[in-house]
Amino acid sequence: MNQPYANRKYIILLVFISVGLIFVVRLFYLQGIDDKWKIAAHEISENKQRIRPERGEIYDRNGALLVANVPVYDLLVTPGLVKEMDTLSFCELVGITKEGFMTRMAKAKHYTRWKASAFEKQIPAEEHARIREQLYKYPGFEWDLRILRGYPDPIGPHALGYIGEVNQAQLDADNFYRRGDYIGINGIEKYYENQLRGQPGVRYILRDAFNNEVISYKEGRYDTMAIPGTDLYTTLDAGLQAYGEWLMENKKGSIVAIEPATGEILAMVSSPTYDPNLLIGRDRSRNYAALAQNDSLRPLFNRATMAPYPPGSIFKLVQALIGLQDGVLFENSRFPCNKALVGCHDHSHSKSIIQAIQHSCNPYFYSATQKVINKGRSKSIFKDTEMGLAGWKTQVQSFGLGRRLQIDLPNIKGGYIPGVDFYDRMYGKGRWAYSTIRSISIGQGEVQVIPIQMANLAAIVANEGWYYTPHLAKKIARNGNKPEPFRIRHTTTIDPKYFLMVKEAMRRVVQEPGGTARLARINAATIVCGKTGTAQNPHGKDHSVFIAFAPMDHPRIAIAVFIENAGFGGTYAAPVASLMIDKYINDTVSDPRKEKYIREVNLIDPK
């Protein structure tokens, strides 16, 4: 190798070593001596920002919007950026007291001085616009857009439910949620929470130590969009729901209307009701306290799905069907109207089971139910009653009574159908007979049902022995399907042929002289089949009960009306049901005088 080339090799090597030493020295200087870059590195950090999704909106069966998404704004504060300011003017701007300001600031400082936290939540859009114009005067404050619920028509709150901010228990139970998120608290908002809530997105940003955004991380290549929740189309008819709530003003009770062929709930009214808009926004806590704690009428309580009542005489339909199925009753079975057995109103002698239902004869069903219970299968009257009651209860439960209907709402009650175990506990084993439990024959005593079960009973008779579980979800998403559980058909233990007699009897209750529900008639083209009931109330005036379906041959609606402290079922419950049926089938009211009669009566605070 030539000497010049050998020297060149050493020169190049020396250059590389020198450059390396320069970098090492410079790095040592930056890290060990000059700390300005160290400070900058600490001041800049990657931040993962969660993007909350919009909840799915809720519609009625015809596409009318029931629950919308409404923007509101949270006012955030970063205490470390707040400068000396006119506190009084700020408080007047936001609408809080000076004490409230101090409390909020102390809480925010306790959380962290350099991270934004909520100062005032759920400020409506119109207030936000007013405050935003002046907020530049107050450094350290900023906005966070939130989406809450709004109700274009304030109807159906007990069915729709409401949302609220997640609590600690909910945070611990489901890692989907973060503090400040909203969750369904009641109604279908809670039942379909997983479908309505959507999926959150993520945005990665770089912030400095003062929480100021520096830049989007990697130009947003790792960001994901929030996926809105799925829209829910309910079975409710908004017009019918609103009409039912209007009719039930100044009354305590409920209306449940079902489409018999599908089990779809057309209306679910619980009265007194409330405006669901009261449970959103800044005043939610105060309004909730007023409704839940200070209102003796309990407007938040869903009487349609949670209030157990004795069914009264509508239970005679079940007794008749079980007797026919067991072969102990026949179409022309006769029993005297012996008022020494149980009280009864005046009516002509019932020559058949159809007439007994038409006249609602208590002594008839006292004797008829005794034949169902006491079949003489044991020489002991006590044992014979036990055996009969056990079989009777099984058949009653096949009507969806005495157990919780698996509808798509939380907190549903199942009513109560007494059995052998219950009476053994009450009276002792082998120490009770039919004479002890006779009140069950006319739907009194220990028998309790929920109004939605009453409506389902009307649907079962309309369908001649079968039903779909009542439900509120017609479909999930515009092109979606009905949830699978509500496509399963259930049948009773009763042969369909026996329902024909009961349907005819219910027709006569409304349409024929001697029937107990003359006020439920509509017109010649709309044949209503119904049954009145008067549920005994040990705490005051009896309750008014009526179930019905119409038209007779091709039922489109089955309904139950329960009005507390209203007396005989034909007086108030029956006309309310007929008005609902007329409105739904004919889209009108054939008898304005009947409507006026119902609207003007006040059964909560009668004058």
Token digits of residue 248? 């039930």
Domain regions of the chain by residue span: 44-64+153-234, 76-141, 238-277+300-600
For a pLDDT cut of 70, what percent of the chain falls above it?
89
> Taking residues 262-288, what's their average pLDDT?
91
Contact 186, 162 (CB under 8 A): yes
> Taking residues 79-83, what's their average pLDDT?
89
Burial of 570 (0-12, 13-18, 19+ CB in 10 A): buried
Give the integer Cα–Cα distance in Å for 297 and 604: 9
> Which residue, chain included where needed, has tokens 């001596």?
33
Cβ within 8 Å of residue 154, ≥6 positions away: 275, 276, 277
Nearest to 510 by CA among 442, 559, 441, 450: 559
Cβ within 8 Å of residue 249, ≥6 positions away: 271, 599
pLDDT at 390: 96
> Taking residues 269-294, what's their average pLDDT?
88
Nearest to 463 by CA among 546, 545, 554: 554
Q: pLDDT tens across 301-344, in order?
A: 999 999 999 999 999 999 999 999 999 999 999 998 777 788 77
Alpha-carbon distances, residue 409 vs 136, 181, 291, 473, 557 (angstroms): 47, 22, 21, 10, 21
Token digits of residue 540? 């005051």
pLDDT at 228: 93
Give the integer Cα–Cα distance in Å for 129 and 125: 6
Give the integer Cα–Cα distance in Å for 252 and 544: 11
Contact 94, 297 (CB under 8 A): no
Report residue 305: phi and psi, to 5°. -120, -5
Nearest to 258 by CA among 30, 542, 600, 580: 580
pLDDT at 280: 84
| Helices (H) then strands (E): counts for the chain | 22, 18
Nearest to 148 by CA among 284, 288, 282, 281: 281
Considering the chain, what is the average pLDDT of its residues? 89
Token digits of residue 111? 């959380």
Task: Please name the fold of domain 44-64+153-234.
Answer: Penicillin-binding protein 2a (Domain 2) (3.90.1310)
Task: Please name the fold of domain 238-277+300-600.
Answer: Beta-lactamase (3.40.710)
Query: How many other CB atoms sit within 10 Å of the CB of residue 346?
Result: 7
In one-letter notation, the amino acid at residue 339 is K
pLDDT at 218: 58
Q: pLDDT tens across 2-49, in order?
A: 555 556 666 666 666 766 677 666 655 545 555 444 444 444 445 677
Nearest to 392 by CA among 365, 361, 425, 370: 370
Nearest to 605 by CA among 155, 307, 297: 297
pLDDT at 535: 82
pLDDT at 12: 66
> Is the per-residue pLDDT at 153 higher than 60?
yes
- Lowest-pLDDT range, 199-213, 266-280, 585-599? 199-213
Nearest to 251 by CA among 293, 210, 299, 213: 299
Out of 116-125, 282-291, 359-368, 575-584, the most confident range is 575-584
Q: pLDDT tens across 393-441, in order?
A: 999 999 999 999 999 999 999 999 999 999 999 999 999 999 999 999 9
pTM of structure: 0.86
Would you say the C-alpha torsion 158, 163, 168, 174 has a positive or negative sign? positive
Nearest to 502 by CA among 374, 315, 338, 349: 315
> Is the per-residue pLDDT at 282 higher than 60?
yes
pLDDT at 246: 97
pLDDT at 49: 74
Inter-helix orientation angle 499-511/316-326, to 10°? 150
278's torsion region: left (phi>0), alpha (psi -120 to 50) or beta? alpha
Contact 227, 198 (CB under 8 A): yes
